[in-house]
Structure 1
Amino acid sequence: MLSAYMDLIRIRFLMMLAYRVNYYSGIVIYAINIGAYYFFWNAIYMDEEVIRGFTLAQMTTYVAVSWMARAFYFNNLDREISNEIRDGSVAIQFIRPYVYLVVKMMQGFGEGLFRLLLFMVPGLVVVSLIFPIEFPSDPKTWLLYALMLLLSFLINSQINILTGLCAFFIENIEGMMRMKRVLVDLFSGVVIPIALFPGWLAAIVQWLPFQAIAYLPSSVFTGRTTGDAALQALMLQVIWFVVLIIPIWLLWRAARHRLFVQGG
C-alpha cells in the first residue's frame, strides 16, 4: 500500500514536469512581487532600524522566504475534490483499496515536491542575487525550517481538503474557495507579518491555524524566533496538524452518506 502512495507522488511530479515552463515564468512573477514588497518596506522603514521586532534585513528576508515557500505549500486540492464530487468520479474512489483523502494528500505532495525543486529553490537563488537576503548560518536552523516547511504543506493541504469536502453539502463552493485563499494569504502572514497586526487582531489570529503555514516558519528562518521559542513554534504546528485531522474525519464521515451526482 505504501508503494502505491509513493507512485502517486511520482506520477503527480511527472505530470507537473510536463508544464515546467509555466513555473519558470512563475519565478519571474514571484520575483516582481517580492521586489514590490521590498521597495514598499524600504519606504516604510526610512530612518527606522526596527519595527515590531523586524529589522529591514529581516523583513526583506521574511518577504522573500514567505513568498517562495508559498510556491511549495500551495495546491488546488480543494478544487480537485470539488470537481470530482461534482462529476461523480469521487464515487469510484469509495470502492478502491486506498484512502481517498490520503491519495489527495500524496498527489498534493508530488506537486509540492516539484514546486520545491523547480520553483522555490531556484527562485530563492534568483531573488537572493537581486535583493539583500540574509540566509541562516546555523545548519540547525535550516533543518528546523525544513521540518516546519513540511508541516506548512500538511496544514495548508488539510485546510484545502476541508474546503473541498464542503462540496458534498454545498453545490458550488467557488466563493468559499476564493474566501479561503484570501484568508490564508492574509492571516498566514504572507501579505503582512502577524507581528504588525493590531493587537486585537493578532490575538485572534493566534487561535487560528493560518499562522502555522507561513508566519512561524519564516520567523524561524529570519532569526526573529530562536531557541525554545522556535521549538514552541514547531510544536504549535504539530498541534494544529493533529487538531485539523478531527474536523476532516468528521466531515468525511458525514460526506460518505451525502454523495449525490450532479453530472454524468
Structure 2
Amino acid sequence: MPTVRAFLAKVGTGFAKENATAQEPGASARFNRIGGRSRQALFARYMVGRTAIKETLCYPADVVIEFVSYPLAFMGYFFFVLAMAAHGGAIGGDAAGTSVSALITYFSIAWMLRMIVDQGVDGDVAAEVQSGDVALALVRPLPLAGFFFARFVGLGLARLVYYGVPAWLLLTLLFGDEIRFEPARLVWFLPYAVIAFRMAFEIQFAIGLVSFFTFVNQQVSWSFDMLVRLASGLIVPLSLFPPVVAVWLEALPFQYIYYRPIQVLLEPAPSNVLLSGLAIGAAWTLALHLLNRGVLALALRRHVIYGS
C-alpha cells in the first residue's frame, strides 16, 4: 500500500512537470526574486478564507438559526443566575465579589466568543480522513493546518459580523442594565482574544488529528469538547470552583479560551500581571501548535491510501 507521502511525491512530480512546461523561461526566477512565493501563499490563504465566508452566506437560514440559538442558550444562564441570586444573594457570597451583573456580563461575552471560535474544525478534519479526501487536501498549495486555519479565520470574521455583533447588540438591548465593563480594558482584552482564537483552533485541530489513529472520533470529539467547556470556564467561571479544583484547572491551557480574556474585562489587574498572562497564553498556544505539527507528521507517515 502506498503511503500518503509516496502518493504526494508522485503527484507533486507531475505538477512540477506541468508547471515547468507552462511557464516562460526565467519567469519563475523573476517571480521568486520579488517575493512571489510569499505573496502567492498569502493570496492562497486569503482565497480560502474568502471561500469560507461565501459558504457561510450561501445558506441564510443557517445564519438566522445560529444567530437565534446562542442568545437563547445565554438566556438560560441569565434566568438561572437571577434565580440563584434571588434565593441566595450574591453568587459565592459577598466576599467573593461575584455579583449578578458580573456573571451576566461574563456569560454574555463567553457565549459571544463561542459563536466565533466554535467552528467544528475537528469534525472537518475527521471527515476528510474518513472519506479519503485528505490525500487530495495534502496536494493543495497550502499545508493542511494552514488551509484549515485560513478557513477558521474566514469563518471567524463572518461569525463575528453576522452572529457575534448582532447577538451582542440583542443581549445589550435585553439585559443592558446588567452587562457592564470598562471600555478602556478592551485594549488588553483584544490580544487575549487573539490568543483565545488561535488556541481554540489548535485544540480543535488536535482533536481532528485523532481520526488518523482511531478513524472514528465522534465520541472523542464530544467528550473532549465537554471537558474544554468545563475547564475553560464557559459553563462556570473558574473562580467559583472549589479552591482545590480551581488550582488544577488554572494549570491547564484551556482557561485562555474564555476565562482569562473575560477576566481582563471584568477585573482590574496590574500591567505586569496582564503581560505575564499574555506570555503564558502565547507559550501554551505555541506548544499546542508544535505538538500538532509533530502529530500530523507522525500521522502522515503511518497513514495508508487504499485504492489507486
TM-score, normalising length: structure 1: 0.92
CA distance in 1 between counterparts of 2:168 and 2:99 reads: 20
TM-fit CA distance, 1:79: 0.7
Partner of 1:212: 256
Partner of 1:136: 182
Mind listing any 5+ residue stretches in structure 2 that lack a counterpart? 1-40
State whether residues 86 and 262 of structure 1, in contact with CA within 8 Å, keep that contact through their aligned partners in structure 2.
no
CA spacing shift, 1:146–1:20, aligned 2, 3 Å: farther
Partner of 1:201: 245
TM-score, normalising length: structure 2: 0.79
TM-fit CA distance, 1:40: 1.5
Whether 1:242 and 2:268 are equivalent positions in the alignment is no
What is the SS of the residue equivalent to 1:75? coil
- Largest Rg, 1 or 2: 2
Whether 1:224 and 2:270 are equivalent positions in the alignment is no
CA distance in 1 between counterparts of 2:259 and 2:96 reads: 14
State whether residues 82 and 167 of structure 1, in contact with CA within 8 Å, keep that contact through their aligned partners in structure 2.
yes
List per-residue Cα deviations over 1:17-52 (Å, max 9, x = no partner): 112332323232222222221221123234337463
Equivalent runs, 1:118-129 vs 2, <5 Å: 118-129=162-173
Give percent identity, aligned residues only: 25
CA distance in 2 between counterparts of 1:145 and 1:56 reads: 21
Partner of 2:11: none
Query: Aligned AA for 1:34?
Result: F
State whether residues 129 and 215 of structure 2, in contact with CA within 8 Å, keep that contact through their aligned partners in structure 1.
no
CA spacing shift, 1:79–1:112, aligned 2, 3 Å: same
Aligned residues: 261
Partner of 1:11: 51
State whether residues 87 and 263 of structure 1, in contact with CA within 8 Å, keep that contact through their aligned partners in structure 2.
no
CA spacing shift, 1:99–1:225, aligned 2, 3 Å: farther
TM-fit CA distance, 1:105: 0.8
What is the SS of the residue equivalent to 2:301? coil
Partner of 2:35: none
What is the SS of the residue equivalent to 2:183? coil
CA distance in 2 between counterparts of 1:86 and 1:263 reads: 14
Partner of 1:74: 118
Mind listing any 5+ residue stretches in structure 1 that lack a counterpart? none
CA distance in 1 between counterparts of 2:215 and 2:269 reads: 46
Query: Aligned AA for 2:51?
Result: I
Partner of 1:258: 302
Deviates more, 1:71-80 or 1:33-42: 33-42
CA distance in 2 between counterparts of 1:213 and 1:53 reads: 23
CA spacing shift, 1:262–1:201, aligned 2, 3 Å: farther
CA distance in 2 between counterparts of 1:214 and 1:263 reads: 44
CA spacing shift, 1:64–1:262, aligned 2, 3 Å: farther
State whether residues 228 and 254 of structure 2, in contact with CA within 8 Å, keep that contact through their aligned partners in structure 1.
yes
